[in-house]
Structure formats: C-alpha cells, structure tokens
Chains A and B, each alone.
Chain A
C-alpha cells in the first residue's frame, strides 16, 4: 500500500528565503503525487501534481516540486517566501485504481516571519 511521510511538522522561514518542504512516498507502482495547501478556515487547494510526465512540476503561486524516483521523494520548493505562503501543506499519493483515492501525509505547517 502507498504511504507518504512529510519530514518536519513545522517549518519556519524568513520572508524572501527559500521554502523547502519534504515529502517521501512509498509505492509499489509508478505513483501519482500531489501537493495541497490549506489556509485557515478554507478547503484544501491543489498546488501541483505529478502524473508521470515531466519530473519537474510547476504549480501555482511560484511553487514547484521535483519527482526523484531514486530517492522516492517529491519535495516542494519556492525560491522566495511571501508572508501569504503561511499555511499547512500536505503531500499526497494516489492509490489509483481508476479513480483518484488520495493518501495524505500528516502535513507541514509553514510559518513565514518578517
């Protein structure tokens, strides 16, 4: 069965600094991978997804993630953090069987300070 591990439940960066949120997955088949963001009192919003095309995936709000099969990783990065990036981020793998059943990691809360 697929699983997802997010290293670091809390990450704090300065405004303008690099954002790196780590995600490792376990899957017996080629995975489909996702990053979602959750702002307070809002629903989960898709940032980006990997579906076996290009290994470097660009998403919304300047985020990108790179699929590395050898490391079973799908880390999320952004070159320069904004205050508005403060939120909780979830990595997910699809247990795909004709439909998109998502297995989520525990999440990483990103804080951005001035």
Chain B
C-alpha cells in the first residue's frame, strides 16, 4: 500500500515569505508527527496530532510555526515570515494509533530559505 507522502519534495523560498508543507499519512493512521532535521543532526520533534487535534505542540520553535489536520488525515505545516535558520528537512510520520506503534516516515520536504 501507499506510504506517507510529502509535498513538495523541495521548496526554495525567500526570507520573510510564507510556506506550507503538506503531509499525506497512511490511510487509517490516527497519529501524525512532524519532525525537523537540520543538516548533520537527527530529527527533532515538532508536533503530534491524534486525530484532528494537536495533542503536543511543545516542539514548535516559535509562533511563526503552525500545523493543522482539519479532517484527521492530511496535515499542513505552515511557516510564516521564514528565516534562513528555518532551512531544514521537514519530516512527517504516521502510526496506527496511540502507544508505542511504529512510526512510518515520509521522504521529507527540503526547505531552503534564501
């Protein structure tokens, strides 16, 4: 079956612009996670959704970052007034439910802020 997909695969933008990154989880997965991976680092947790609600957004770096999952499936990570330090690979993962379920990761969106 289809895995987690993320679009776009690459996004280049200018400092100060607004961007949206999309994640399509595996069908039926209720849990969705966003992580950010900077160059040479491991992924860092950003936000967790269970269904439509953001159950833990403690990893969002500041109020320029926001994520939604209005119908409990597709999620969009939104970044306002982008800064060069936002350049990273943004990873999305989904899992069947709560608990220590395996997370299935998408290929990521590489964001470059010029």
Contact = CB atoms under 8 A, between A and B. Distances in A.
B interface residue count range (under 10 / 10 to 19 / 20 to 34 / 35 or more): 20 to 34
B109 to A, nearest CB: 11
Contacts of A17: none
B98 A98 contact: yes
A94 B100 contact: yes
B106 A106 contact: no
Contacts of B3: 43
B103 A102 contact: yes
B31 interface: yes
Given A42-B107, A43-B4, A99 B43 contact: no
B42 A104 contact: yes
Nearest to A99: B98
Contacts of A102: 33, 35, 43, 45, 103
Interface of B: 3-4, 31, 33, 35, 40-45, 48, 50, 55-56, 91, 93, 95, 98-108
Interface of A: 4, 9, 32, 36, 41-46, 49, 51, 90, 92, 94, 96-107
5 contacts: A42-B107, A45-B105, A100-B103, A102-B33, A102-B103
